[in-house]
Amino acid sequence: MTTPEVAFEETAARPSIESVPLSHLSLELGHLYIEEFAGGVEQLRRHFIRIAPWVAAARQACVDRTPAGRARISTCFLIDDYFTRFSTPGEVARQLQEATDGTGLVIDYFARESGCARADDIPLAELVLTQLVSDPVPQTTGDRPPTTETGWLCNGKRSPALDLAQAMSGSRGWLPPVQNAANRHSIFLDVELWDYEENGDRRWSCPYLAAVWQLMRLGLLRYEGEGVTNPYQLDDWPTDWDELPAVVKLNPHAAPFSAYRTFSVLGTRFLPIEHAVRTILSQVSISPAVLDQIHTRSRGERVDLPKDLVERVEYAFVAD
């Protein structure tokens, strides 16, 4: 008779995974750049009036698919303080809140784009970079440098390099790029994750930070087992953007910041950026323990949650 092998492990030796509060839906009401802010409160109000019907539709869709219709929905707004600094945090928040008056919209959470690179001394962008698993290309040897070295990520097979010697030899000429799992025709995309590195610091691209933003909103990131998105309520607003937390809670009665699904109402100029975001998200490997935890919770709430995390991210693109 064979004696079964039994492994004993102290409970304290197993890393615990923090469970973060989750809404059913995180609704993004926009992404503010300096150009929109320069137009003042009235331009911002026009934005909120324009998106209000789409926000209402997203809310209703969430209510309809939530058991008993008791949906937890939170709203958020992202400020670009990474590529351009303008005004002060308190003044931007004041103008946003003033601009929503009379539109039927309320901003629950105010977030800064720099917080997608680093939040509470946690290097979120670097953390996500370690979780990227490049989509393997069929019939290739993997001879191209990895994404973590080049800073470029694609959804298929790039065109092979063709130098002068190859052209003179009469060997096979130019070949087109090919999308992995293409539907009849390829839609090939090559995404830049950062454009330069100095003293160990990278300047991350807008699509990459937006991908981190989606992962924050989905509650999928952990650092040493702990959640990385901790909204703060402020009594006094700092004048320096660097002193502002990554996410600030404006509405004390708001549902949780992170959610099972996200919905973003954005201008049409964000469409190519979000195409890149979805390409990045399709190649992020989330901790199985985190995924199991969230799936267990969703089943307990009878929430139908797609297995593919990209399918948890939805949009409405509205013309400016």
Q: Give the β-pairing of 109-112 and 247-249.
A: antiparallel
Tell me what pLDDT residue 168 has.
53
Tell me what pLDDT residue 1 has.
42
Torsion of CA 201, 223, 313, 305, to 10 degrees: 160
Tell me what pLDDT residue 293 has.
96
Tell me what pLDDT residue 265 has.
97
Q: Indicate the domain borders of the chain.
A: 16-123+202-269+287-318
- The backbone torsions φ and ψ at residue 147, rounded to the nearest 5 degrees and listed phi first, read -55, -35
Residue 246's SS3 state is coil
Tell me what pLDDT residue 188 has.
87
Q: For residues 264 and 285, give the distance between their C-alpha atoms in angstroms, rounded to a whole number.
A: 23
Instruction: Say what angle helices 89-100 and 40-64 make with each other, to 10 degrees.
Output: 70
Torsion of CA 318, 189, 309, 269, to 10 degrees: -10
In contact, 24 and 71? CB cutoff 8 Å:
yes
Tell me what pLDDT residue 3 has.
43
Tell me what pLDDT residue 137 has.
59
Tell me what pLDDT residue 300 has.
95
Q: For residues 70 and 90, give the distance between their C-alpha atoms in angstroms, rounded to a whole number.
A: 33
Low-confidence ranges of the chain (pLDDT < 70): 1-15, 135-144, 161-172
Across 187-292, the runs of DSSP E, i.e. the strands, are 190-192, 194-198, 201-204, 222-223, 226-227, 247-249, 259-267
pLDDT digits 0-9 by tens, 287-298: 999 999 999 999
58, burial (CB in 10 Å: exposed 0-12, middle 13-18, buried 19+): buried
